[in-house]
Amino acid sequence: MLGSAQIAALARDRLGFETLRPGQAEAVGAVLEGEDTLAVLATGTGKTAIYQLAGLALGGLTVVVSPLVALQRDQLRVLSEHPAGVEVAELNASDHSGQRKARDMLANGRPGFVLLSPEQLTHADVLELLAASRPRLVAVDEAHLVSEWGQDFRPDYLRLAAAMRAMGRPPVLALTATAAPPVRKEIIHRLEMRTPAVVVGGFDRPNLNLSVFTFADEETKARRLLSHLRSSRGPGIVYVATHRHAEDLAAQLGIAGVSAQAYHAGLSARQRREAQDGFLADRYRVVVATIAFGMGIDKPDIRWVSHAEAPGSIDAYYQEIGRAGRDGEPADIELFYRHADLGLNRFFASGGVSDEDLLAVTAAIDEHHPADIAELAAAAHLSPSRAERALGRLTDARVVTAGHRFDLTARADVESAVAAASAVEHDRREVARSRVEMMAAYAEYGGCRREWLLSYFGEQYDGPCGNCDNDLTGRKAARAADQPFPVGSRVKHPTFGPGLVERYDGTTMTVLFDRVGYKQLRTALITYHHLLDPDP
Protein backbone atom coordinates (compact mmCIF):
# COMPACT_ATOMS: atom_id res chain seq x y z
CA MET A 1 0.00 0.00 0.00
CA LEU A 2 0.97 3.65 -0.36
CA GLY A 3 3.22 5.27 2.23
CA SER A 4 2.95 8.88 3.45
CA ALA A 5 5.24 10.20 0.70
CA GLN A 6 3.21 8.45 -2.01
CA ILE A 7 -0.06 9.70 -0.52
CA ALA A 8 1.35 13.24 -0.51
CA ALA A 9 2.39 12.84 -4.14
CA LEU A 10 -1.10 11.62 -5.05
CA ALA A 11 -2.61 14.64 -3.30
CA ARG A 12 -0.33 16.96 -5.23
CA ASP A 13 -0.73 15.34 -8.64
CA ARG A 14 -4.43 14.50 -8.59
CA LEU A 15 -5.98 17.13 -6.30
CA GLY A 16 -3.47 19.97 -6.52
CA PHE A 17 -2.58 20.00 -2.80
CA GLU A 18 0.88 21.33 -2.00
CA THR A 19 1.01 19.69 1.42
CA LEU A 20 -1.09 17.36 3.55
CA ARG A 21 -2.52 18.52 6.84
CA PRO A 22 -2.07 16.67 10.14
CA GLY A 23 -4.08 13.46 10.28
CA GLN A 24 -4.84 13.23 6.56
CA ALA A 25 -2.05 10.83 5.56
CA GLU A 26 -2.59 8.70 8.68
CA ALA A 27 -6.31 8.29 7.96
CA VAL A 28 -5.79 7.58 4.25
CA GLY A 29 -3.08 5.05 5.08
CA ALA A 30 -5.39 3.20 7.50
CA VAL A 31 -8.11 2.95 4.83
CA LEU A 32 -5.62 1.65 2.27
CA GLU A 33 -4.61 -1.05 4.77
CA GLY A 34 -8.24 -2.21 4.66
CA GLU A 35 -9.13 -0.88 8.12
CA ASP A 36 -12.38 0.77 9.06
CA THR A 37 -11.35 4.31 10.01
CA LEU A 38 -12.87 7.08 12.12
CA ALA A 39 -11.23 10.44 11.43
CA VAL A 40 -12.07 13.11 14.02
CA LEU A 41 -10.46 16.27 12.69
CA ALA A 42 -11.44 19.87 13.30
CA THR A 43 -13.30 21.95 10.74
CA GLY A 44 -10.96 23.29 8.08
CA THR A 45 -8.46 20.42 8.28
CA GLY A 46 -9.54 18.84 5.00
CA LYS A 47 -11.63 15.85 6.00
CA THR A 48 -13.22 15.46 2.56
CA ALA A 49 -9.76 15.19 1.01
CA ILE A 50 -9.30 11.97 3.02
CA TYR A 51 -12.08 10.10 1.23
CA GLN A 52 -11.08 11.64 -2.09
CA LEU A 53 -7.48 10.47 -1.76
CA ALA A 54 -8.47 7.06 -0.41
CA GLY A 55 -10.97 6.55 -3.22
CA LEU A 56 -8.48 7.60 -5.88
CA ALA A 57 -5.81 5.27 -4.48
CA LEU A 58 -8.18 2.31 -4.17
CA GLY A 59 -9.71 2.76 -7.59
CA GLY A 60 -13.16 1.41 -8.29
CA LEU A 61 -16.30 2.96 -6.87
CA THR A 62 -16.51 5.06 -3.70
CA VAL A 63 -19.94 5.74 -2.18
CA VAL A 64 -20.10 8.90 -0.07
CA VAL A 65 -23.02 9.56 2.29
CA SER A 66 -23.32 13.31 2.85
CA PRO A 67 -26.19 15.06 4.68
CA LEU A 68 -26.72 18.28 2.74
CA VAL A 69 -27.14 18.86 -0.98
CA ALA A 70 -25.03 22.03 -0.65
CA LEU A 71 -22.19 20.01 0.90
CA GLN A 72 -22.48 17.38 -1.82
CA ARG A 73 -22.22 19.97 -4.56
CA ASP A 74 -19.26 21.64 -2.91
CA GLN A 75 -17.50 18.27 -2.73
CA LEU A 76 -18.34 17.54 -6.38
CA ARG A 77 -16.98 20.93 -7.36
CA VAL A 78 -13.67 20.23 -5.62
CA LEU A 79 -13.26 16.93 -7.47
CA SER A 80 -14.25 18.42 -10.83
CA GLU A 81 -11.95 21.45 -10.54
CA HIS A 82 -8.80 19.34 -10.10
CA PRO A 83 -7.32 16.92 -12.63
CA ALA A 84 -8.52 13.86 -10.74
CA GLY A 85 -9.67 12.16 -13.91
CA VAL A 86 -12.65 10.35 -12.32
CA GLU A 87 -16.38 10.41 -12.72
CA VAL A 88 -18.48 12.03 -10.00
CA ALA A 89 -22.24 12.12 -9.56
CA GLU A 90 -24.79 12.90 -6.88
CA LEU A 91 -27.93 10.96 -6.07
CA ASN A 92 -30.58 13.23 -4.59
CA ALA A 93 -34.13 14.22 -5.32
CA SER A 94 -33.31 17.70 -6.66
CA ASP A 95 -31.02 16.78 -9.57
CA HIS A 96 -32.58 14.39 -12.12
CA SER A 97 -29.66 14.39 -14.57
CA GLY A 98 -27.26 13.69 -11.69
CA GLN A 99 -29.54 10.89 -10.55
CA ARG A 100 -29.38 9.19 -13.94
CA LYS A 101 -25.60 9.32 -14.00
CA ALA A 102 -25.28 8.12 -10.39
CA ARG A 103 -27.68 5.25 -10.97
CA ASP A 104 -25.77 4.20 -14.08
CA MET A 105 -22.47 4.27 -12.17
CA LEU A 106 -23.93 2.12 -9.40
CA ALA A 107 -25.67 -0.32 -11.75
CA ASN A 108 -22.50 -0.89 -13.76
CA GLY A 109 -19.94 -0.52 -10.97
CA ARG A 110 -18.15 2.22 -12.87
CA PRO A 111 -15.14 3.74 -11.05
CA GLY A 112 -15.64 7.12 -9.46
CA PHE A 113 -17.51 8.83 -6.63
CA VAL A 114 -21.25 8.67 -6.02
CA LEU A 115 -22.55 11.04 -3.35
CA LEU A 116 -25.95 10.48 -1.82
CA SER A 117 -28.01 11.79 1.08
CA PRO A 118 -29.05 9.47 3.92
CA GLU A 119 -32.70 9.92 2.90
CA GLN A 120 -31.93 7.94 -0.26
CA LEU A 121 -31.42 4.89 1.95
CA THR A 122 -35.19 4.77 2.49
CA HIS A 123 -35.74 3.80 -1.16
CA ALA A 124 -35.72 0.08 -1.93
CA ASP A 125 -34.42 0.61 -5.49
CA VAL A 126 -31.47 2.64 -4.21
CA LEU A 127 -30.61 -0.09 -1.71
CA GLU A 128 -30.75 -2.66 -4.53
CA LEU A 129 -28.42 -0.54 -6.67
CA LEU A 130 -25.99 -0.12 -3.77
CA ALA A 131 -26.04 -3.85 -3.05
CA ALA A 132 -25.19 -4.59 -6.70
CA SER A 133 -22.45 -1.93 -6.93
CA ARG A 134 -19.92 -3.57 -4.57
CA PRO A 135 -17.98 -0.32 -3.87
CA ARG A 136 -14.36 -0.35 -2.75
CA LEU A 137 -15.06 2.22 -0.01
CA VAL A 138 -18.01 3.78 1.83
CA ALA A 139 -17.35 7.22 3.31
CA VAL A 140 -19.75 8.74 5.85
CA ASP A 141 -19.36 12.50 6.01
CA GLU A 142 -20.57 14.42 9.10
CA ALA A 143 -20.61 11.06 10.88
CA HIS A 144 -21.69 12.60 14.20
CA LEU A 145 -25.19 12.70 12.66
CA VAL A 146 -25.44 8.96 13.24
CA SER A 147 -25.13 9.65 16.97
CA GLU A 148 -27.80 11.12 19.19
CA TRP A 149 -24.94 12.49 21.32
CA GLY A 150 -23.91 14.61 18.32
CA GLN A 151 -25.93 17.58 17.19
CA ASP A 152 -28.51 17.36 14.39
CA PHE A 153 -29.03 13.59 14.67
CA ARG A 154 -30.45 12.17 11.43
CA PRO A 155 -32.47 8.95 11.96
CA ASP A 156 -31.95 7.83 8.36
CA TYR A 157 -28.29 7.32 9.26
CA LEU A 158 -29.49 4.32 11.29
CA ARG A 159 -29.99 2.51 7.98
CA LEU A 160 -26.33 2.75 7.04
CA ALA A 161 -25.14 -0.42 8.75
CA ALA A 162 -27.69 -2.60 6.95
CA ALA A 163 -26.94 -0.86 3.65
CA MET A 164 -23.21 -1.49 4.03
CA ARG A 165 -23.80 -5.14 4.83
CA ALA A 166 -25.80 -5.40 1.60
CA MET A 167 -22.89 -3.81 -0.28
CA GLY A 168 -20.58 -6.61 0.81
CA ARG A 169 -19.25 -4.69 3.80
CA PRO A 170 -16.41 -2.68 2.19
CA PRO A 171 -14.08 -0.62 4.40
CA VAL A 172 -15.89 2.24 6.13
CA LEU A 173 -14.42 5.72 6.55
CA ALA A 174 -16.34 7.91 9.01
CA LEU A 175 -15.50 11.62 9.08
CA THR A 176 -16.50 14.23 11.64
CA ALA A 177 -15.25 17.51 13.06
CA THR A 178 -16.42 17.10 16.64
CA ALA A 179 -16.64 13.82 18.50
CA ALA A 180 -15.73 13.31 22.15
CA PRO A 181 -15.37 9.68 23.30
CA PRO A 182 -19.13 8.99 23.86
CA VAL A 183 -19.90 10.24 20.33
CA ARG A 184 -17.05 8.20 18.83
CA LYS A 185 -18.26 5.12 20.66
CA GLU A 186 -21.79 5.52 19.30
CA ILE A 187 -20.57 6.19 15.74
CA ILE A 188 -18.50 3.00 15.84
CA HIS A 189 -21.39 1.01 17.35
CA ARG A 190 -24.11 2.24 15.01
CA LEU A 191 -22.00 1.89 11.85
CA GLU A 192 -20.86 -1.56 13.04
CA MET A 193 -17.23 -0.56 12.45
CA ARG A 194 -14.75 -3.39 13.01
CA THR A 195 -11.91 -2.46 15.39
CA PRO A 196 -11.44 0.84 13.54
CA ALA A 197 -8.36 2.99 13.39
CA VAL A 198 -9.25 6.23 15.17
CA VAL A 199 -7.39 9.35 14.04
CA VAL A 200 -7.99 12.35 16.33
CA GLY A 201 -6.38 15.77 16.14
CA GLY A 202 -6.46 19.34 15.03
CA PHE A 203 -8.86 20.58 17.71
CA ASP A 204 -6.63 23.42 18.84
CA ARG A 205 -7.85 26.76 17.51
CA PRO A 206 -5.26 29.18 18.95
CA ASN A 207 -6.93 32.21 17.33
CA LEU A 208 -10.04 31.79 19.50
CA ASN A 209 -10.02 33.80 22.72
CA LEU A 210 -12.03 31.83 25.30
CA SER A 211 -13.93 33.64 28.07
CA VAL A 212 -16.66 32.87 30.59
CA PHE A 213 -18.65 35.61 32.31
CA THR A 214 -20.34 34.36 35.49
CA PHE A 215 -23.54 35.86 36.94
CA ALA A 216 -25.63 35.27 40.01
CA ASP A 217 -28.95 36.58 38.65
CA GLU A 218 -30.67 36.51 35.27
CA GLU A 219 -31.41 40.24 35.07
CA THR A 220 -27.75 41.26 35.36
CA LYS A 221 -26.73 38.59 32.87
CA ALA A 222 -29.33 39.70 30.30
CA ARG A 223 -28.33 43.35 30.64
CA ARG A 224 -24.62 42.55 30.25
CA LEU A 225 -25.28 40.29 27.26
CA LEU A 226 -27.24 42.96 25.40
CA SER A 227 -24.58 45.59 26.11
CA HIS A 228 -21.85 43.20 24.96
CA LEU A 229 -23.65 42.37 21.69
CA ARG A 230 -24.32 46.02 20.92
CA SER A 231 -20.63 46.89 21.23
CA SER A 232 -19.30 43.80 19.43
CA ARG A 233 -17.34 44.27 16.23
CA GLY A 234 -17.79 42.36 13.01
CA PRO A 235 -20.29 39.61 12.20
CA GLY A 236 -21.16 37.14 14.93
CA ILE A 237 -23.58 34.55 16.26
CA VAL A 238 -25.24 34.46 19.66
CA TYR A 239 -26.76 31.12 20.64
CA VAL A 240 -29.83 31.03 22.87
CA ALA A 241 -31.91 28.19 24.29
CA THR A 242 -35.42 28.98 23.04
CA HIS A 243 -37.27 30.31 20.02
CA ARG A 244 -38.80 33.07 22.15
CA HIS A 245 -35.42 34.28 23.39
CA ALA A 246 -34.09 34.35 19.81
CA GLU A 247 -37.00 36.53 18.66
CA ASP A 248 -36.87 38.87 21.67
CA LEU A 249 -33.10 39.39 21.59
CA ALA A 250 -33.06 40.00 17.84
CA ALA A 251 -35.79 42.62 18.31
CA GLN A 252 -33.86 44.31 21.14
CA LEU A 253 -30.75 44.47 18.99
CA GLY A 254 -32.75 45.94 16.12
CA ILE A 255 -34.08 48.69 18.38
CA ALA A 256 -30.49 49.40 19.43
CA GLY A 257 -29.49 49.87 15.79
CA VAL A 258 -27.78 46.50 15.27
CA SER A 259 -28.78 44.60 12.13
CA ALA A 260 -29.86 41.28 13.62
CA GLN A 261 -32.01 38.34 12.60
CA ALA A 262 -33.47 35.44 14.58
CA TYR A 263 -32.95 31.90 13.35
CA HIS A 264 -34.68 28.85 14.82
CA ALA A 265 -36.54 25.70 13.84
CA GLY A 266 -39.92 27.38 14.36
CA LEU A 267 -39.41 29.57 11.29
CA SER A 268 -40.44 28.46 7.83
CA ALA A 269 -37.81 27.05 5.48
CA ARG A 270 -38.00 30.27 3.44
CA GLN A 271 -37.45 32.45 6.53
CA ARG A 272 -34.48 30.35 7.65
CA ARG A 273 -32.95 30.48 4.19
CA GLU A 274 -33.38 34.26 4.02
CA ALA A 275 -31.76 34.69 7.44
CA GLN A 276 -28.84 32.47 6.50
CA ASP A 277 -28.32 34.10 3.10
CA GLY A 278 -28.59 37.57 4.65
CA PHE A 279 -25.92 36.73 7.20
CA LEU A 280 -23.59 35.26 4.60
CA ALA A 281 -24.07 38.37 2.44
CA ASP A 282 -23.46 40.71 5.42
CA ARG A 283 -26.98 42.15 5.34
CA TYR A 284 -27.22 41.10 9.00
CA ARG A 285 -24.32 41.57 11.38
CA VAL A 286 -25.75 39.32 14.09
CA VAL A 287 -27.73 36.09 14.00
CA VAL A 288 -29.54 35.16 17.22
CA ALA A 289 -29.89 31.43 16.87
CA THR A 290 -30.84 28.18 18.49
CA ILE A 291 -28.86 25.05 17.67
CA ALA A 292 -30.84 24.83 14.40
CA PHE A 293 -28.27 27.24 12.88
CA GLY A 294 -24.87 26.06 11.84
CA MET A 295 -24.45 23.04 9.59
CA GLY A 296 -23.27 24.07 6.16
CA ILE A 297 -22.48 27.63 7.29
CA ASP A 298 -19.12 28.56 5.80
CA LYS A 299 -18.52 32.22 6.63
CA PRO A 300 -14.81 32.55 7.38
CA ASP A 301 -14.92 36.05 8.90
CA ILE A 302 -17.22 35.41 11.89
CA ARG A 303 -15.46 37.45 14.57
CA TRP A 304 -17.27 36.19 17.65
CA VAL A 305 -19.63 33.54 18.96
CA SER A 306 -21.49 34.11 22.24
CA HIS A 307 -23.70 31.80 24.25
CA ALA A 308 -26.51 33.28 26.33
CA GLU A 309 -26.78 29.96 28.19
CA ALA A 310 -24.51 26.98 28.56
CA PRO A 311 -25.34 24.24 26.02
CA GLY A 312 -26.10 20.72 27.19
CA SER A 313 -22.62 19.41 26.45
CA ILE A 314 -19.06 20.39 25.64
CA ASP A 315 -19.50 18.66 22.26
CA ALA A 316 -22.29 21.06 21.30
CA TYR A 317 -20.36 24.03 22.65
CA TYR A 318 -17.19 23.25 20.73
CA GLN A 319 -19.03 22.64 17.49
CA GLU A 320 -20.81 25.99 17.77
CA ILE A 321 -17.77 28.06 18.73
CA GLY A 322 -15.87 26.41 15.88
CA ARG A 323 -17.82 28.56 13.43
CA ALA A 324 -15.79 31.62 14.48
CA GLY A 325 -12.47 32.71 13.04
CA ARG A 326 -12.17 30.18 10.24
CA ASP A 327 -10.06 32.72 8.35
CA GLY A 328 -7.38 32.30 11.02
CA GLU A 329 -7.85 35.82 12.33
CA PRO A 330 -8.61 36.46 16.05
CA ALA A 331 -12.16 35.73 17.21
CA ASP A 332 -13.81 36.05 20.62
CA ILE A 333 -15.73 33.24 22.32
CA GLU A 334 -17.90 34.24 25.29
CA LEU A 335 -20.11 32.12 27.51
CA PHE A 336 -22.59 34.05 29.70
CA TYR A 337 -22.90 31.57 32.53
CA ARG A 338 -25.27 31.20 35.43
CA HIS A 339 -25.10 27.91 37.29
CA ALA A 340 -28.87 27.88 37.79
CA ASP A 341 -29.35 27.86 33.99
CA LEU A 342 -28.06 24.29 33.92
CA GLY A 343 -31.28 23.18 35.60
CA LEU A 344 -33.07 22.97 32.24
CA ASN A 345 -30.23 20.89 30.77
CA ARG A 346 -30.33 18.60 33.78
CA PHE A 347 -34.08 18.23 33.34
CA PHE A 348 -33.71 17.21 29.70
CA ALA A 349 -30.85 14.85 30.59
CA SER A 350 -33.01 13.07 33.14
CA GLY A 351 -35.73 12.50 30.55
CA GLY A 352 -35.53 10.19 27.60
CA VAL A 353 -37.39 7.20 26.24
CA SER A 354 -40.03 5.55 28.40
CA ASP A 355 -40.66 1.82 28.53
CA GLU A 356 -44.15 2.58 27.21
CA ASP A 357 -42.69 4.19 24.08
CA LEU A 358 -40.28 1.30 23.64
CA LEU A 359 -43.16 -1.18 23.88
CA ALA A 360 -45.31 0.78 21.41
CA VAL A 361 -42.52 1.04 18.83
CA THR A 362 -41.41 -2.57 19.24
CA ALA A 363 -44.94 -3.85 18.84
CA ALA A 364 -45.44 -1.65 15.77
CA ILE A 365 -42.27 -3.01 14.19
CA ASP A 366 -43.22 -6.59 15.02
CA GLU A 367 -46.69 -6.23 13.53
CA HIS A 368 -46.33 -3.74 10.66
CA HIS A 369 -42.64 -3.77 9.59
CA PRO A 370 -42.82 -0.04 8.75
CA ALA A 371 -40.59 1.44 6.05
CA ASP A 372 -39.98 4.92 7.47
CA ILE A 373 -40.29 7.05 10.60
CA ALA A 374 -43.67 8.49 9.61
CA GLU A 375 -45.13 5.02 9.13
CA LEU A 376 -43.54 3.80 12.36
CA ALA A 377 -44.85 6.77 14.35
CA ALA A 378 -48.36 6.29 12.99
CA ALA A 379 -48.38 2.57 13.78
CA ALA A 380 -47.07 3.22 17.32
CA HIS A 381 -49.41 6.22 17.88
CA LEU A 382 -46.44 8.42 18.82
CA SER A 383 -44.95 11.64 17.53
CA PRO A 384 -42.12 11.15 14.99
CA SER A 385 -39.54 12.46 17.47
CA ARG A 386 -40.58 9.98 20.18
CA ALA A 387 -40.61 7.14 17.66
CA GLU A 388 -37.11 8.13 16.47
CA ARG A 389 -35.68 8.07 19.98
CA ALA A 390 -37.20 4.68 20.75
CA LEU A 391 -35.92 3.32 17.45
CA GLY A 392 -32.44 4.55 18.36
CA ARG A 393 -32.46 2.59 21.61
CA LEU A 394 -33.71 -0.56 19.88
CA THR A 395 -31.02 -0.39 17.21
CA ASP A 396 -28.35 0.30 19.87
CA ALA A 397 -29.50 -2.83 21.70
CA ARG A 398 -29.11 -4.71 18.38
CA VAL A 399 -32.67 -6.03 18.57
CA VAL A 400 -33.97 -4.11 15.53
CA THR A 401 -32.48 -3.89 12.04
CA ALA A 402 -32.97 -0.74 9.99
CA GLY A 403 -32.88 -1.65 6.32
CA HIS A 404 -35.53 -0.67 3.82
CA ARG A 405 -37.96 -1.71 6.55
CA PHE A 406 -37.61 -1.91 10.32
CA ASP A 407 -37.65 -5.47 11.64
CA LEU A 408 -36.91 -7.31 14.88
CA THR A 409 -33.82 -9.46 14.73
CA ALA A 410 -34.28 -13.21 14.58
CA ARG A 411 -33.27 -13.67 18.23
CA ALA A 412 -35.62 -11.00 19.63
CA ASP A 413 -39.27 -10.99 20.58
CA VAL A 414 -41.21 -7.94 21.80
CA GLU A 415 -40.58 -8.56 25.50
CA SER A 416 -36.83 -9.23 25.25
CA ALA A 417 -36.36 -6.33 22.83
CA VAL A 418 -38.01 -3.86 25.22
CA ALA A 419 -35.90 -5.13 28.14
CA ALA A 420 -32.66 -4.81 26.19
CA ALA A 421 -33.51 -1.30 24.95
CA SER A 422 -34.59 -0.21 28.43
CA ALA A 423 -31.16 -1.17 29.80
CA VAL A 424 -29.51 0.89 27.05
CA GLU A 425 -31.73 3.84 27.95
CA HIS A 426 -30.78 3.63 31.64
CA ASP A 427 -27.07 3.87 30.85
CA ARG A 428 -27.71 6.64 28.35
CA ARG A 429 -29.40 8.83 30.95
CA GLU A 430 -26.39 8.44 33.24
CA VAL A 431 -24.06 9.57 30.46
CA ALA A 432 -26.37 12.48 29.56
CA ARG A 433 -26.34 13.77 33.12
CA SER A 434 -22.57 13.50 33.28
CA ARG A 435 -22.18 15.57 30.09
CA VAL A 436 -24.15 18.42 31.68
CA GLU A 437 -21.80 18.32 34.67
CA MET A 438 -18.80 18.54 32.33
CA MET A 439 -20.25 21.75 30.90
CA ALA A 440 -20.43 23.15 34.44
CA ALA A 441 -16.88 21.97 35.14
CA TYR A 442 -15.57 23.89 32.13
CA ALA A 443 -17.48 27.07 32.97
CA GLU A 444 -16.28 27.01 36.60
CA TYR A 445 -12.70 25.93 35.86
CA GLY A 446 -9.95 28.16 37.22
CA GLY A 447 -7.11 27.23 34.87
CA CYS A 448 -6.31 27.30 31.16
CA ARG A 449 -9.57 26.82 29.30
CA ARG A 450 -7.88 25.65 26.09
CA GLU A 451 -6.04 22.92 28.01
CA TRP A 452 -9.33 21.79 29.57
CA LEU A 453 -11.22 21.69 26.27
CA LEU A 454 -8.52 19.83 24.38
CA SER A 455 -8.16 17.23 27.11
CA TYR A 456 -11.91 16.62 26.88
CA PHE A 457 -11.46 15.61 23.26
CA GLY A 458 -8.43 13.50 24.04
CA GLU A 459 -5.79 15.89 22.68
CA GLN A 460 -2.79 16.58 24.89
CA TYR A 461 -2.05 20.26 25.51
CA ASP A 462 -0.03 21.83 28.29
CA GLY A 463 -1.21 25.34 29.16
CA PRO A 464 -1.21 28.17 29.71
CA CYS A 465 -2.33 29.19 26.23
CA GLY A 466 -2.22 32.93 26.96
CA ASN A 467 -5.48 33.44 25.06
CA CYS A 468 -8.25 32.72 27.55
CA ASP A 469 -9.71 34.79 30.37
CA ASN A 470 -8.06 32.77 33.14
CA ASP A 471 -4.59 32.90 31.62
CA LEU A 472 -4.86 36.61 30.83
CA THR A 473 -5.82 37.41 34.42
CA GLY A 474 -3.17 35.14 35.92
CA ARG A 475 -5.57 32.55 37.35
CA LYS A 476 -4.20 29.04 37.61
CA ALA A 477 -5.77 25.73 38.55
CA ALA A 478 -4.11 23.71 41.27
CA ARG A 479 -1.93 21.01 39.79
CA ALA A 480 -2.56 17.48 40.94
CA ALA A 481 0.29 16.22 43.11
CA ASP A 482 -0.93 12.63 43.02
CA GLN A 483 -1.69 10.94 39.70
CA PRO A 484 -2.06 7.25 40.48
CA PHE A 485 -3.04 6.33 36.90
CA PRO A 486 -1.67 7.91 33.72
CA VAL A 487 -3.98 10.13 31.69
CA GLY A 488 -5.39 8.04 28.86
CA SER A 489 -5.11 4.75 30.75
CA ARG A 490 -7.95 2.29 31.23
CA VAL A 491 -9.21 1.63 34.75
CA LYS A 492 -12.02 -0.30 36.41
CA HIS A 493 -14.31 0.76 39.28
CA PRO A 494 -16.34 -1.77 41.34
CA THR A 495 -19.58 0.18 40.79
CA PHE A 496 -19.08 2.22 37.61
CA GLY A 497 -17.22 -0.45 35.65
CA PRO A 498 -14.43 0.18 33.10
CA GLY A 499 -13.41 3.67 32.08
CA LEU A 500 -10.74 6.01 30.73
CA VAL A 501 -8.73 8.48 32.83
CA GLU A 502 -9.32 11.89 31.25
CA ARG A 503 -7.57 14.45 33.45
CA TYR A 504 -6.46 15.54 36.94
CA ASP A 505 -7.44 18.86 38.52
CA GLY A 506 -6.08 19.65 41.96
CA THR A 507 -7.52 17.02 44.29
CA THR A 508 -9.87 15.40 41.75
CA MET A 509 -9.58 13.15 38.74
CA THR A 510 -12.06 12.84 35.86
CA VAL A 511 -12.81 9.39 34.49
CA LEU A 512 -15.04 8.68 31.50
CA PHE A 513 -16.78 5.41 32.35
CA ASP A 514 -18.14 3.32 29.50
CA ARG A 515 -21.61 2.89 31.02
CA VAL A 516 -22.25 5.91 33.24
CA GLY A 517 -20.23 8.66 31.57
CA TYR A 518 -18.01 11.28 33.23
CA LYS A 519 -17.32 11.14 36.95
CA GLN A 520 -15.17 13.53 38.99
CA LEU A 521 -13.60 11.54 41.81
CA ARG A 522 -11.53 12.59 44.83
CA THR A 523 -8.09 11.22 44.01
CA ALA A 524 -7.06 10.64 47.63
CA LEU A 525 -10.21 8.65 48.41
CA ILE A 526 -9.82 6.57 45.27
CA THR A 527 -6.24 5.78 46.23
CA TYR A 528 -6.91 5.14 49.93
CA HIS A 529 -9.84 2.78 49.30
CA HIS A 530 -8.27 1.15 46.19
CA LEU A 531 -11.41 1.88 44.19
CA LEU A 532 -9.70 1.85 40.81
CA ASP A 533 -7.63 -0.91 39.26
CA PRO A 534 -5.83 -0.98 35.92
CA ASP A 535 -8.03 -2.44 33.17
CA PRO A 536 -5.66 -3.76 30.53
3-state helix, strand, coil in the chain (%, to 5): 45, 20, 35
Predicted pLDDT at 474: 92
Checking if the pLDDT of 527 tops 60, the result is yes
Checking if the pLDDT of 379 tops 90, the result is yes
If you average pLDDT over residues 53-69, what whole number do you get? 86
Residue 62 · residue 30 · CB < 8 Å? no
Select, from the ranges 15-29, 345-359, 430-444, the one with the highest average predicted confidence (pLDDT): 430-444
If you average pLDDT over residues 505-530, what whole number do you get? 90
Predicted pLDDT at 7: 85
Checking if the pLDDT of 81 tops 70, the result is no
In the chain, the amino acid numbered 394 is L
Which residues are bridge partners to 332 per DSSP? 209, 304
How many C-beta atoms lie closer than 10 Å to residue 410's C-beta?
Answer: 6
Predicted pLDDT at 249: 96
Does domain 4-201 sit in CATH 3.40.50.300? yes
How far is residue 322's CA from residue 300's CA, in Å, rounded to a whole number? Answer: 11
Condensed to tens digits (0 to 9), the pLDDT of residues 103-141 reads: 888 888 888 888 888 888 878 888 888 888 889 999 998
Q: Do 4-201 and 211-347 show the same overall fold?
A: yes
Checking if the pLDDT of 288 tops 70, the result is yes
Predicted pLDDT at 59: 87
Predicted pLDDT at 8: 83
How far is residue 197's CA from residue 12's CA, in Å, rounded to a whole number? Answer: 25
In the chain, the amino acid numbered 164 is M
CATH homologous superfamily, domain 211-347: P-loop containing nucleotide triphosphate hydrolases (3.40.50.300)
Checking if the pLDDT of 271 tops 70, the result is yes
Checking if the pLDDT of 46 tops 80, the result is no
CATH T-level fold of 351-428: Arc Repressor Mutant, subunit A (1.10.10)
H-state helical runs in 171-310: 181-190, 218-231, 243-255, 269-280
Kindly list the domain boundaries of the chain, sorted by start residue.
Answer: 4-201, 211-347, 351-428, 478-536
Per-chain mean pLDDT for the chain: 87
Residue count of the chain, please give it.
536
Predicted pLDDT at 32: 93
Query: 296-300: long-range contacts at Cβ-Cβ below 8 A with a sequence spacing of 24 or more?
Result: 296/68, 296/70, 296/71, 297/323, 298/326, 299/235, 299/323, 299/326, 300/326, 300/327
CATH T-level fold of 478-536: SH3 type barrels. (2.30.30)
